[in-house]
C-alpha cells in the first residue's frame, strides 16, 4: 500500500507502455514554457505562502462572522456591544482582502513554473497535493475577484448571489489551504531553517532525469527522435540553466557582497510586495478609517460624501420607493398591534445616539440619529422579554427588504426607529420617513423606508 501511495504512476505500467509514456512525456516537457527567473526559490515561495495563509485566515474568520450575523443559526448569538465591533471586523475583512491581491500575484509568479512540471503526477500523494494546489488557486482567485467586484458594487459579471457564493467558496479555499499546508509543511520548514542561498538552484529540488534506470525499449530504437528526447537531461523548472553574471563562477560571491545577487534581489522582491500591500491598504482603508479618507483612491465610498454627508449604497430610485405622503402608517404587529402615523411617531419620546453605519463592502461612517427607541415600541405592543423583531421595508423587491434583529439589539436602548439624521429630517435616500439603526449590526440589517415591525417569539 505504501509503495502504491508513493510510486510513480508511469513506473507501474507494463514495459512497452512505460517507455512510450516516458518518451512522449519528454517531448511534452521540452515544449513547456519555462519563464525562468533567478529570483525564484523555495524560501521565497515559503515566505509568500506564510503571508497568504495569514491573510486568507483573517478573511475567513471575519467573513464567517459577517455571514453568521446575517444568517444566524440557532446556536449563534451576536451582541449589541461593543458598538464598533462589526465596523472593525468587516473593515479588517475588506482591507485584508484587498491587501491579499499583491501577495497572491507574487505567490503565483513564484510557483508558476511548477504548475507545468513533468511528469504532472508522480504518485497518488503527489496527485492529491497538485489537486489541492489547483483548487486553492481557483478558489483564491475567485474569492479575491468576486470580493473586489462586490466592494465596487459591480454585479453584472457575477450571475449568482454573491453572499452565498462567497461564503461557500471561502470554505473550499480554507479546506484546500489546510491540505496544502499539511503537504508542504516539511518543505517550508526545511527552506526557512537554512540560511538564504545566493544561488537559486540550491533552493530548488533537484529536477528528475527522464527515464533514469529504465530499460531501453524497442519503441525508442524505432523512433530516434523519441529516443533522443528520452535521454536528454531535464533543465531546472525555473529556467535558470543559463548562468548569468551573478551566477558565473566567482561572480556570484562578488554580486552578493555588492548587494546585487539573487538572495539580495529576493529580499528586495519581498520588500516590494510588502510596499505594494502598504500602498493598496493606504489608498483603500480610508473608507473605514476616517482620518485617511482623503487618500481613499481605490475604495468606492468616502465616509463624508452622500446625502446629509453620509454615503448610501442604494438610493430610493434604485429601490423603487417614492416619498411617503400624509397617508403613511407604521404597522407594529405584536400581542397588542398598533398603527402609528408619522405625526404620532414624532410625538413619542425621542432619543439621540451616535452610531455608525458599517456596510459589508467595508465602508463605515458615524452619524447622530434621533428617533423612538425600539424597546419603547416593543413595550407599546406588549412584546414579551427576549422577543426578536422582523423589520420590513416599503421596498417591495430585493433580498434585503426585510431583516430579523436578534433580541439583544431589540432591547438595547440605543436601537432606534430613526426619524432624523444629524439634526435634520431623513433624506429620502436615507429612508424617509423612518429607518432603523442599531449598534453593532451590518448596514444591510439597518432597514430603510420602514413600514412594518413584526414581533417574533
CATH number corresponding to 323-456: 3.90.420.10
pLDDT digits (tens, 9 = 90+) for 345-398: 999 999 999 999 999 999 999 999 999 999 999 999 999 999 999 999 999 888
Judged by DSSP in three states, 331 sits in strand
> In whole angstroms, what is the distance from residue 115 CA to residue 137 CA?
11
Answer yes or no: are the C-beta atoms of 297 and 283 closer than 8 Å: yes
Each domain of the chain, given as residue ranges in start order, spans 2-281, 323-456
The reported pLDDT for the residue numbered 454 is 97
Res 202: pLDDT: 43
Q: HSE of 136 in the Cβ direction (CA atoms, 13 Å)?
A: 23
Sign of CA dihedral 291, 292, 295, 297: negative
What are residue 355's DSSP bridge partners? 367
Q: What are phi and psi of 193, to 5 degrees?
A: -75, -30
pLDDT of residue 14: 63
| Residue carrying the nine cell digits 544561488 | 199
User: C-alpha grid cell for residue 344?
Assistant: 404620532
Whether the bond between 119 and the residue before it is cis, its omega within 30 degrees of 0, is yes
Mean pLDDT, consecutive 10-residue stretches, the chain (457 aa), reads 51 63 63 70 92 96 96 94 95 95 94 78 77 90 94 89 93 93 90 67 44 39 37 39 43 47 79 94 89 82 87 91 91 96 96 95 94 97 94 89 95 97 96 96 96 94
Q: Which residues pair with 416 in a beta bridge?
A: 373, 437
Query: Is the preceding peptide bond at 285 cis, omega within 30 degrees of 0?
Result: no
> What pLDDT was estimated at residue 103?
96
pLDDT at 367: 95
What pLDDT was estimated at residue 48?
Answer: 94
pLDDT at 212: 41
Q: Using CA atoms in the order 127, 131, 133, 139, what is the torsion angle rounded to 10 degrees? A: 180
Q: What is the pLDDT of residue 263?
A: 72
- The grid cell for 89 is 471586523
Look up residue 369 and give its three cell numbers. Answer: 440619529
Question: pLDDT (tens digit, 9 = 90+) per residue, 386-417?
Answer: 999 999 999 988 888 999 999 999 999 999 99
pLDDT computed for residue 305 by the predictor = 86
Cα separation, 221 vs 447, in Å, equals 77
Cell numbers of 295, please?
A: 487618500
Rounded to whole angstroms, the Cα distance separating 175 from 20 reads 37
The whole model's pTM is what? 0.80
Amino acid at each position: 500500500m505504501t509503495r502504491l501511495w508513493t510510486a510513480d504512476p508511469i513506473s507501474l505500467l507494463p514495459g512497452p507502455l512505460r517507455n512510450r509514456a516516458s518518451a512522449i512525456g519528454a517531448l511534452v516537457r521540452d515544449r513547456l514554457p519555462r519563464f525562468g527567473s533567478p529570483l525564484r526559490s523555495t524560501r521565497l515561495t515559503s515566505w509568500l505562502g506564510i503571508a497568504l495563509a495569514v491573510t486568507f485566515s483573517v478573511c475567513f474568520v471575519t467573513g464567517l462572522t459577517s455571514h453568521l450575523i446575517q444568517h444566524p443559526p440557532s446556536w449563534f448569538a451576536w451582541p449589541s456591544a461593543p458598538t464598533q465591533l462589526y465596523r472593525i471586523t468587516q473593515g479588517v475583512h475588506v482591507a485584508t482582502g484587498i491587501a491579499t491581491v499583491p501577495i497572491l500575484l507574487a505567490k503565483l509568479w513564484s510557483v508558476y513554473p511548477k504548475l507545468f512540471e513533468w511528469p504532472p503526477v508522480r504518485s497518488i500523494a503527489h496527485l492529491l497535493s497538485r489537486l489541492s494546489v489547483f483548487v486553492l488557486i481557483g478558489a483564491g482567485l475567485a474569492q479575491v475577484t468576486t470580493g473586489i467586484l462586490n466592494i465596487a458594487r459591480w454585479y453584472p459579471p457575477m450571475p449568482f448571489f454573491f453572499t452565498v457564493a462567497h461564503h461557500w467558496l471561502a470554505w473550499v479555499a480554507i479546506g484546500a489551504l489546510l491540505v496544502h499546508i499539511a503537504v508542504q509543511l516539511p518543505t517550508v520548514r526545511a527552506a526557512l531553517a537554512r540560511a538564504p542561498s545566493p544561488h537559486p538552484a540550491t533552493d530548488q529540488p533537484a529536477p528528475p532525469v527522464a527515464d533514469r534506470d529504465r530499460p531501453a525499449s524497442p519503441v525508442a530504437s524505432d523512433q530516434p527522435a523519441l529516443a533522443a528526447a528520452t535521454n536528454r537531461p531535464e533543465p531546472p523548472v525555473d529556467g535558470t540553466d543559463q548562468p548569468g553574471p551573478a551566477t558565473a563562477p566567482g561572480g556570484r560571491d562578488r554580486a552578493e557582497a555588492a548587494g546585487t545577487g539573487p538572495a539580495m534581489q529576493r529580499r528586495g522582491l519581498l520588500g516590494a510586495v510588502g510596499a505594494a500591500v502598504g500602498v493598496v491598504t493606504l489608498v483603500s482603508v480610508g473608507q473605514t478609517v476616517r482620518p485617511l479618507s482623503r487618500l481613499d483612491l481605490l475604495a468606492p465610498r468616502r465616509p463624508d460624501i452622500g446625502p446629509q454627508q453620509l454615503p448610501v449604497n442604494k438610493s430610493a430610485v434604485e429601490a423603487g420607493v417614492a416619498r411617503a405622503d400624509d397617508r403613511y402608517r407604521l404597522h407594529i404587529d405584536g400581542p397588542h398591534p398598533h398603527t402609528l402615523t408619522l405625526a404620532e411617531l414624532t410625538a413619542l419620546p425621542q432619543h439621540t445616539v451616535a452610531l455608525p453605519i458599517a456596510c459589508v463592502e467595508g465602508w463605515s461612517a458615524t452619524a447622530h440619529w434621533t428617533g423612538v427607541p425600539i424597546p419603547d415600541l416593543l413595550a407599546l405592543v406588549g412584546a414579551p422579554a427576549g422577543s426578536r423583531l422582523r423589520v420590513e421595508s416599503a421596498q417591495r423587491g430585493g433580498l434585503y427588504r426585510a431583516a430579523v434583529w436578534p433580541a439583544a439589539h431589540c432591547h438595547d436602548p440605543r436601537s432606534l426607529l430613526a426619524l432624523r439624521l444629524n439634526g435634520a429630517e431623513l433624506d429620502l435616500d436615507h429612508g424617509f420617513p423612518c429607518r432603523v439603526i442599531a449598534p453593532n449590526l451590518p448596514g444591510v440589517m439597518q432597514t430603510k423606508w420602514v413600514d412594518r415591525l413584526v414581533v417574533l417569539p
